[in-house]
A and B are shown apart, each in its own frame.
Chain A
Amino acid sequence: MHINQEHSRVEVVQLPSPTAWPLVLSLGIALLCTGLVTNLFIGILGLMLSICGCVGWFFQVFPHESHIDVPVQVGDVQVLSSRTLQDRLPVSEMHRKFLPIETFHIGTGIKGGIAGGLAMTLPAAIFSLIKYHSIWYATNLLAAGGFVSWANASDAFLSEFHMRGLLAAAAIHGLTSLLVGLLYGAMLPMYPRSPIVTAGLVAPLLFTGILHSALGIVSPILNDRIDWFWFIISQIAFGLVCGFVVNLSAKVRTAQFRALPFAVRAGIHISSDAGPQEPTEISTTDQKNEKRDRPE
């Protein structure tokens, strides 16, 4: 450390003065309780200590909070820790990697989720009509996961219209669609190469795979009667529509954008599919290509 003695000066710091009264009070309360399990005298001792502690503490802070003065000498110095002086590969002139300078607005995901959720009902309705000749079958089947009393319901029962079933299914489906939509809004910028394939095919297939192995635990009745072919179709419908809606929306600029040098912002040229965590290439007007990389 380099110390510039010229600027040394003395100041005073006030700290609360040490005191034993909190210790006395806590011991008193503890002994008061111990009196209950041992004998009366310990309880009385505890009571007396508690009273002493309260009084003592009171006069610690009243009328003036008691404090001690600690003189400190301060000076202007140069802070440098010798332990951190290790060689590191110089990766770039700038210290940081630029995180996404553009991203989707959070509302985009919600919009996508609603659209996808609506789209998903279509294959489900077609499936119900074709296989059970009733539009309500898929609805009731989903709702049955939430009603234990429906666990052994017949196909005929599930084909009828039930207000309860419609409400429960709407709640389950609506909430799930919103959450998945939010997830898409957050994740799609991370998979910039071909978001439609990711959102429309890969994610639905992965999700179906997870559900296929887990559904027996989550909702046994659904697991018994689900038609995986139609399930995948409706998942893909969700993914395509949700992904499409999300992708359609304009991106908003993050705070990182403001931090870019003016020249970059003015003549900005970014490959349009740059996502987070991807070192972004930014060409400035003076043709200096800087690969933004990890800090340091």
Chain B
Amino acid sequence: MATQSPVNAILDETTSSSTHPSALQILHDWLTTADHKKIGLMYIGYALLFLVVGGFQAILMRIQLAIPNNHFVSPQAFNQLFTMHGTTMVFFVGMPVLFGFGNYLIPLMIGARDMAFPRLNAFSFWIAAFGGFLLYFSYLGAPGLSGAGSAPDVGWWAYAPLTARAFSPGHSTDYWTLAILISGIGSIGTAINIVATILCMRCPGMKLSRMPLLVWIYLVMAMMVFVTISPLTAAQIMLLLDRYLGSHFFDTQAGGSAVLWMHFFWVFGHPEVYVLILPTFAFANEIIPVFSRKAVFGYPAMVAATVAIGFISLSVWAHHMFTVGMGPGANTFFVLATMTISVPTGIKIFNWLATIWGGKIHFTSSMKFAIGFLFQFLVAGLTGIMLGSAPFDWQLSNSYFVVAHFHYVLVGAILFMLFSAFYYWYPKMTGRMLSEKLGTWHFWLFVIGFHLTFDLMHIPGILGMPRRIYTYEADRGWMMWNLLISCGAVIQTVATLIFVYNLIWSYFKGPVAGADPWDAWTLEWSTTSPPPSYNFAVIPGVSSRRPLWDLKHPEDPDSNYE
């Protein structure tokens, strides 16, 4: 029995020209494009490239730490590895991949033909990309102290005074500062574009209260980018002044303040976590309802919770600084503020559960990853609350417990939901389905590898293993845990390779997707897969939050209920 009755609509019948362009022509097309879809795909491709690089660095570190007294890499190279791994994953994987999905999806979801500022969009992508290349050029740039290039080695927080000229001679720290400064310009540009697009380019009938939740969340995320990237950029400029012109912003001995850097960095750093995770909440809000076959539960509560998270996350930054000695007043404030953020986050989790509850769940690869996300995000939130209370943090700050906690957020929640998004929107982007069989292998291997690595990683932290440690003695009792953690990392690598193979294989051999393979409800599924350069031949109009539901069920449209 068909569940979907044919629907009359106006559809694009343009026949694409069958001429095969030359490789040079294709390259020219991509380099000069102002099309939000191509830019989105370039963002995603660029992020995947750096994901592989950052993952490779993680593997090298895990080999180094797998056994005690290991000298697989030199101490200098190890410092560079964890610095580059952190910087790469946050600035050149997390941000671009999320901007990529946003770029690709937002205009399609609000029924627009492009972003508000298509040239600014291209500029933002390219400058972010060049920032990444500049960072990695440091490996080849002027030879550093160890002869292994002068890649940054000050940790991804780059705390003062380690970054001062006296302690970080050469140019490695300058590469780090400049790369982040440049990519920050791109982030601001894209955020401006996202806000302007969402506020000004919605199709007729798409009121704010009818926007897909993904679009809402990206709006909040873009607003947060404004307020977080700005202090970061300011701090980087101050650091440049310190290093090049001899100012003393962060030089305590000359009247500056090293703690000032911490404040600047974390007033960026904590909201940044939410800038990274909000888009994955956005994916969950689109994917979980479709595979539960129910409209999302509590749309207004979701929007309110998102806005609340946006505000509260701006006032919790110093929970990264409990051990600095800020005094009881500040500690208490930041403990309470940190606890408060669990309220809107909890609302979201309950709403997702309520969406799944009673639904007709389709366990596609995408949904499997989404459910993994739900569970792991909850656990990550719980260890976050533990670390958020100052007395507990005094014991475990800068230990592997912290590393385990934030990787639970970044991998267990963000990366899982990203995989889910890939399985969900790949058909739209390429016109082909990803293999479900490979997807299932990918999911289970990744779940096993993830839990092996990051569940166990809490334990050496509790046993006192500090983060960023180069190697350790055999008698500490950390040995077995570290070996198991490294084994988990290998399993995750295998799973990721399966995923990459799936991406490539399915592009050529995957089943043809059609416009709407998931029987979904948002506007991007109403155009062909992949969409034509103009997205919609006729700009659509909507009268509810699920326009395609209304199209498919004209006898019982959603607009009756909202």
A residues contacting B by CB (< 8 A) are: 1-3, 8, 11, 13, 15-23, 25-27, 29-30, 33-34, 36-38, 57, 60-61, 70-88, 90, 94-97, 99, 146-149, 179, 217-218, 220, 255-256, 258-259, 276-277, 279, 294-296
Contact = CB atoms under 8 A, between A and B. Distances in A.
A81 B525 CA distance: 10
B318 to A, nearest CB: 15
Contact of B358 (A61, A97, A220): A97
A224 B62 CA distance: 43
A60 B119 CA distance: 9
Interface string B125-159: 01101110110011001100000000000000000
B534 A15 contact: yes
B12 A73 contact: yes
Contact of A78 (B8, B34, B244): B8
A82 B182 CA distance: 47
B8 to A, nearest CB: 6
B35 interface: yes
Given A18-B29, A37-B141, A79 B7 contact: yes
B358 A218 contact: no
B534 A30 contact: no
B287 interface: no
A112 B152 CA distance: 56
Contacts of A99: 297
B332 A148 contact: yes
Given A33-B178, A74-B538, 9 more contacts: A15-B34, A19-B119, A70-B534, A72-B537, A81-B516, A83-B514, A88-B1, A295-B294, A296-B3
Contact of A77 (B11, B114, B181): B11
B357 interface: yes
A87 B3 CA distance: 8
Contacts of B10: 74-77
A262 to B, nearest CB: 12
Question: Main secondary structure on chain A at its contact with chain B?
Answer: mixed
Contacts of B538: 11, 74
A78 B358 contact: no
Contact of B31 (A20, A80, A94): A20
Contact of B556 (A88, A96, A147): A96
B384 interface: no
Query: Which of under 10, 10 to 19, 20 to 34, or 35 or more describes the interface residues of B?
Result: 35 or more
Contacts of B33: 18
Q: Which are the 4 A-B pairs with shortest beta-carbon distances? A: A148-B328, A30-B130, A22-B123, A26-B127
Contacts of A71: 14
A84 B171 contact: no
B391 interface: yes
Contact of A15 (B328, B392, B533): B533
B122 interface: yes
21 contacts: A13-B113, A18-B29, A23-B32, A25-B123, A26-B127, A26-B130, A29-B185, A37-B175, A70-B534, A72-B534, A74-B10, A74-B11, A74-B537, A81-B517, A84-B3, A84-B518, A88-B360, A97-B294, A220-B391, A258-B561, A294-B360
B480 interface: no
Given A25-B123, A74-B11, A296-B293, A84 B31 contact: no
Interface string B506-531: 00000001111111000000100000
B178 A37 contact: yes
Contacts of B171: 37
Given A30-B127, A255-B561, A85 B13 contact: no
Contacts of B168: none
A83 B517 contact: yes
B149 to A, nearest CB: 12
A15 to B, nearest CB: 6
B4 interface: yes
Contact of B9 (A77, A83, A179, A295): A77
A72 B113 CA distance: 13
Contacts of B134: 30, 33-34
B11 A81 contact: no
Contact of A74 (B13, B29, B131, B518): B13
Given A11-B537, A37-B174, A79-B526, A84 B517 contact: yes
A84 B548 CA distance: 14
B79 interface: no
B358 A18 contact: no
A146 B390 CA distance: 12
Interface string B294-309: 1101000000000000
B194 to A, nearest CB: 17
A22 B119 contact: yes
B202 to A, nearest CB: 18
B3 to A, nearest CB: 5
B560 interface: yes
A74 B134 CA distance: 46
A81 B294 CA distance: 19
B358 A87 contact: no
A38 B141 contact: yes
B126 A23 contact: yes
Contacts of B7: 78-80
B242 to A, nearest CB: 14
B489 interface: no
A90 B113 CA distance: 38
Given A81-B519, A84-B516, A2 B6 contact: yes
A147 B328 contact: yes
A140 to B, nearest CB: 16
A17 B32 CA distance: 9
A85 B3 CA distance: 7
B551 interface: yes
Nearest to B5: A80
Contacts of A22: 34, 119-120, 122-123, 126
A140 B29 CA distance: 70
Interface in B83-119: 113-114, 118-119
Nearest to A150: B328
A23 B30 CA distance: 11
Nearest to B29: A18
B359 A294 contact: yes
Contacts of A33: 134, 178, 181-182
A76 B551 CA distance: 14
Contacts of B127: 26, 29-30
Contacts of B561: 255-256, 258-259
Given A16-B34, A37-B178, A27 B130 contact: yes
Nearest to A13: B534
Nearest to A25: B123
Contacts of A279: 358
Contacts of A13: 113, 534, 537
B234 interface: no
Nearest to A84: B519
B332 A296 contact: no
B131 A30 contact: yes
Contacts of A217: 386, 389, 391-392
Contacts of A218: 389
B475 interface: no
Contact of B13 (A8, A19, A25, A61): A8
Contacts of B504: none
B114 A79 contact: no
